[in-house]
């Protein structure tokens, strides 16, 4: 199962961490994993390259991470849309994604 954890500070998103494998198909053939990876990478790239906001961001060893140094309403909006996208994917492919929210 993919585990997506969104970090919030004062009810505003400031980061996310996504780990795991959906288990929908074999690694390399899993469309759920591909969709989640694509959505997460786009979100991180919008924040870091599009908005030029400093963030700890990367993808390696089955972990994707993006935590903005100084989150603002743009970061919140992008991460809110990412959370909505992952909810939609989970709706189409139940039992593949667990989404949680943590206050930091």
List the chain domain ranges.
2-100
Q: Whole-model pTM? A: 0.94
Indicate if the pLDDT at residue 25 is higher than 90: yes
Q: 78: Cβ–Cβ under 8 A, 6 or more apart, which residues?
A: 43, 46, 47
Say how far apart CA 66 and CA 13 lie, in whole Å: 11
**pLDDT, tens digit, for every residue of 41-100?**
999 999 999 999 999 999 998 899 999 999 999 999 999 999 999 999 999 999 999 999
Is residue 93 within 8 Å of 16, Cβ to Cβ? no
Predicted pLDDT at 5: 98
What is the predicted pLDDT for the residue at 92?
A: 97
2-100 CATH pick, 3.10.180.10, 2.40.50.140, 3.30.470.20, 3.30.70.1490: 3.30.70.1490
Cα 55 from Cα 93, distance rounded (Å): 30
pLDDT at residue 61 in the model = 83
The Cα 31–Cα 8 span in angstroms is 28
The CA–CA distances, whole Å, from 94 to 18, 20, 24, 54, 97 equal 17, 15, 10, 34, 7
């Amino acid at each position: 199962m993919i585990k997506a954890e969104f970090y919030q500070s004062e009810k505003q998103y400031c980061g996310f961490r996504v780990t795991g494998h959906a288990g929908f198909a074999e690694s390399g053939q899993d469309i759920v994993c591909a969709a989640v990876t694509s959505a997460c990478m786009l979100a991180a790239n919008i924040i870091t390259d599009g908005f030029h906001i400093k963030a700890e961001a990367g993808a390696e060893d089955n972990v994707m991470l993006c935590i903005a140094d100084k989150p603002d309403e743009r970061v919140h909006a992008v991460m809110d849309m990412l959370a909505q996208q992952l909810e939609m994917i989970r709706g189409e492919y139940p039992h593949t994604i667990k989404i949680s929210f943590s206050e930091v």
